[in-house]
Amino acid sequence: MKLLIKFFAEITIKTTPVRKRFVKQLKVNLRSLLAEIDPALRVHGAWDSLEIEGVQTENLAAALDCLQRTPGISQIQEVHEYPLTDLPTLADLCVQHLGAQLAGKVFAVRCKRVGRHPFSSPEVASYLGSQLFERCGAAGISLSAPEVRAEVEIRHERVFLIQARHAGMGGFPLGTMEPVLSLMSGGFDSTVASYQLLQRGLLPHFIFFNMGGRAHEIGVRQIAHHLWRQYAGSHRLRFISVPFEEVVGELIRNVDDSQMGVVLKRMMLRAADRVAHQLGFQALVTGEAIAQVASQTLPNLAVIDRAVDRLVLRPLITTSKQTIIAQARQIGVEAMCSSIPEYCGVISVSPAIYTTHGRVAEAEAQFDFSVLERAVDKARYTDCHLLDQPLEGIDELELVSSAQPGQVVIDIRAPDERENSPLQLEGVEVRAIPFYELKASFAELDPARVYLLYCDKGLMSQMHAQHLLDAGFGHVRVLRPSN
């Protein structure tokens, strides 16, 4: 069995030097990926297609799965290859390999030729069609609406009988475009945006702004590792984690609520710009879609972009949320993304949908930029192939449905959330410490008491409780009321 690789259509219309470069890069990528399946697999070819030889039956499914997740490939064909002799011999081969597919079916024969031969493609198709109809128990022949197609390619002195076709993911081969830095929150938008960059041959390294502690990072690491492993395993990508809790705390203390969303995005771009400069990357990537949230109106996006000079790419800018979620499902990240809370939307309750650069500049004048600089200096860099390794020091998190005598419930929601939906627990001590202040405040609490963290959905409380456990505070639990 041999596999034929058909290129993404846009590759075939490139100029000769560009097409050769793209095909050469795809060949390099495939050799790297397929070596993990079977080091004996051979990849060769150049202009029209690539051929993969040495595929054993036990490795076929793994090889096909790998190829379908490799950017640059339009189609993978399972083929049987033989030397071209004469048409009767070719008919025997077609009966041997394709005959079982035709029994009781209406079929057609499709023939493509490259080279000089004493017969035309229609003559080959007509002869093979009559032979297969007589010898394979087919129900009939229909050139316009066949149930099954018997496909044959003749290339000079070789014959390929196409057993099956499999769709690839298209796009350009990884490494044919420049690396970029993708702002990864772990939600649907940033994940799908990163995937679409991969599909166009760019190498998105991931920068993550951690506002939810170590447990938040664990979830986003899993998503980044999935993207790398599934679609970019031929290349080295990095995951940069920037601790952003202090930045959020500084924003909430000193920036007007209406401007927080835009200012937070500008702080993220500034931090990402500094990292991109250090790594030599020319562009940043976000998952923003026009008017999806208040910070993503045209006026606000224009103000956000003015925070940096570097190019900001937004591949999802006109994409609906339903389409984004559908693509997340297609690439296997829907469940993971749905478990990641949207921290950016938590910190501002009444965001401005039409701000100006002057208003934002006035708001940022109250911000201590040394906090942002410290966050970037503390960034941790990890190769994506290491992201599936567990982080050390993680203890099992305990969830409880009610508070016991002497325990304290800490409401970690933002002040406006607490005002809109006060937490009322009869006979239980409740303290209000917003999540962005929890890390600094928890060490001052009485270590002899047990503290239960609470939020509306339970996700942020679990992440922050995990973060406190990692820091050595064993007297923390998560409150998840049964009602």
CA distances from 379 to 204, 239, 271, 303, 413 (A): 17, 10, 10, 26, 26
CA distances from 374 to 267, 343, 360 (A): 13, 20, 22
1 is known to lie in a ligand binding site: no
Dihedral of the CA atoms 470, 475, 477, 479 (nearest 10)?
A: -140
Rounded to the nearest 5 degrees, what angle is found at the Cα of 75, between the Cα atoms of 337 and 26?
A: 80
321 is known to lie in a ligand binding site: no
Selection from 453, 423, 457, 416 nearest residue 438 by Cα: 453
50 is known to lie in a ligand binding site: no
Distance from chain centroid for Cα 232: 10
- For the chain, the farthest-separated pair of C-alpha atoms sits apart, in whole angstroms, at 95
183 is known to lie in a ligand binding site: yes
Give the separation between CA 300 and CA 259, rounded to whole angstroms: 10
Exposure string over 87-118, b if 16+ CB within 10 A, otherwise e: eeebbebbbebbbebbeebebbbbbebeeeee
267 is known to lie in a ligand binding site: no
CA distances from 148 to 104, 120, 247 (A): 10, 22, 61
Selection from 44, 12, 15, 41 nearest residue 27 by Cα: 44
Distance from chain centroid for Cα 290: 20
Give the separation between CA 45 and CA 73, rounded to whole angstroms: 14
Cα end-to-end distance, the chain, whole Å: 59
Please indicate whether residue 455 is annotated as part of the active site.
yes
Structure-token pair, residue 102 = 């035709």
Selection from 318, 327, 325, 326 nearest residue 289 by Cα: 318
Among candidate residues 111, 136, 337, 455, the one labeled active-site is: 455
Give the separation between CA 319 and CA 317, rounded to whole angstroms: 6
Please state the residue numbers annotated as binding site. Answer: 183-184, 265, 287, 296
Please state the residue numbers annotated as binding site for ATP. Answer: 183-184, 265, 287, 296
List the catalytic residues: 455
